[in-house]
Structure 1
Amino acid sequence: MAVSPQLPHPADAAALVASGRRVFEIERDALGAVAERLGEAFSQACQLVLQSKGRVVATGMGKSGHVARKIAATLASTGTPAFYVHPGEAGHGDLGMITEADVVLALSYSGESDELLMLLPVLKRQGNRLIAMTGRPQSSLASAADVHLDVSVPAEACPLALAPTSSTTASLAMGDALAVALLDARGFTADDFARSHPAGSLGRRLLLHITDVMHSGDELPRVDVGASLSEALVEMSRKRLGMTAVVDADNHLIGLFTDGDLRRALDTDLDVRSARIADVMTRGPRTIGADQLAAEAAQLMEAHKINGLMVVDGDGHLVGALNIHDLLRARVV
């Protein structure tokens, strides 16, 4: 008969929470220690990057490699072109990705990673400037660097002092500090950030314009100001936006008729078959310009509790229409 595996004894809940909190405390103290040392070397590292005509090439082995990859991604998304190169692969051809104009950011807490040290002669010969991020200022990597960023920590959060914990947190924070300092120095804006994140919610809010989501041409519901209510209802049904614009002979927007207007009209003694659209439309409706952001349309609809907008040019000519469903499809709201 098979024997069921012995389950471990349930851990004490309070002990687990205490252990977790201890990690936060140790890493908090580690970050404070690194922050206190921030000074001239940090400024020099920023200046090297700002003066470079190339990119930042981040590299590192093991956990330092994971941190280097994240730092490269953060730099790239905040205005500093950067990418990650695996030091092991670099020695087998990927060094060709690094040009002489690039600044190399090398991470190794010990400062003695063989894979990184092997690259130094080639990088020096090529003329690359080197920023090292280590926990040992006297290490081989730190000594060879143009600038050394000291990320040494008082203690690892791992009780065995084996798994990189506080040290990787400190390195990650140093990378964030570099990215933000460079962002500030470059005058990087929210619009710049959106351009590198077009698929994100911020990108959609800051980059998507009314022209990208509006209906125009044959899809635009409109009737002449002299049309009947019946004609307007047919146009609304055909274009399926729940509204139609009312325009004059020069295509100037005169009014708007919506599903809501229809419901209000039916509450009266109005004869739908003989009524004219001019008698039941809403005059002077809310409008928006084609060059405005789609997010502005969402704000306007929310502020005035409406579900659709007509789009006009500077002279009041009708050029498009959109409703809340268009904004939802575009994931603006």
Structure 2
Amino acid sequence: MSTEPDQTPTYVAKGQEFDRDMTYVPDRITRDARTPEHGPVEGRLWPVEPGRYRLVAAAACPWANRTLIVRKLLGLEDVLSVGMPGPTHDQRSWTFDLDHDGVDPVLGIHFLRDAYEKRFPGYPRGITVPAIVEVETGELVTNDFPWITHDLFFEWTEHHRPGAPDLWPAELREEMETVMKRVFTEVNNGVYRCGFAGSQEAYDAAYERLWTALDWLEERLATRRYLMGDAITEADVRLFTTLARFDAVYHGHFKCNRQKLVELPHLWGYARDLFQTPGFGETIDFEQIKQHYYVVHTDVNPSGIVPLGPDPSGWETPHGREALSA
């Protein structure tokens, strides 16, 4: 079974283990369309240019949520516009249901698929968010989500706000890569591995892997304010978007229910700390998150009923983690 962020499947394949398809349009946006120092170069290189592109990122999607947070942290709102599809979609495409007449006011489309098809007629893969679209042509540029946030930091430097955080500290990058790899495989993707398991055996194994990683994170965050120490990095952005959805969706809907986030003192304090940091909490819409998972995943939740809880007010309570920043 395979799928892509975030064109999530509408079936659970019986007897199979969840396997995420990580094939994306590999184009990169770089300063002067130069060859970047970091990462693969398999597709076309596009130049950084304010106003040229539009980021399409649904608030409901954790992978797209990363881009919304990084865009805000770096102060790129005036140079990279954002279009936000609604929380629900069918097999065809994400749609701009939240906009007037269901049409994105800049791209002039209802279906995000139109931007994919404009560049790749008959595009055969899932229509995913986040996606970056060239405004003038209406064509998809890239949907390669790990590299979108990476390049917003490394390639859009000229347009960062004064005092923007260093999300990739040079002295920490090697360790960061190890931490982020484990966060992705075991937590970001681990909750999906539980939710879309096609057999009891696959679920049991996924559940054990997830909680082994969450226990590791709980221990790690007992002595440091953020994943890499005293400052927020890209690693924190990547973990936060899963934690923000944990009690509202993953605990019940995906059966990740050994404990709730609010029962894990260090992870819960850490998540609240980030939520209350400018750039994080304002990108979270718990109602859209719940509507997406509980309505779109008809195999997991055939009734389509969206739960009313949990109460989100706890996210604003004091976290007390300032003491960990010496």
Q: TM-score, normalised by structure 2?
A: 0.24
> Who wins on radius of gyration, i.e. which is larger?
1
Greater RCO (CA < 8 Å, at least 6 residues apart) = 2
Q: Which has the higher helix share?
A: 1
Q: Which has the higher strand share?
A: 1
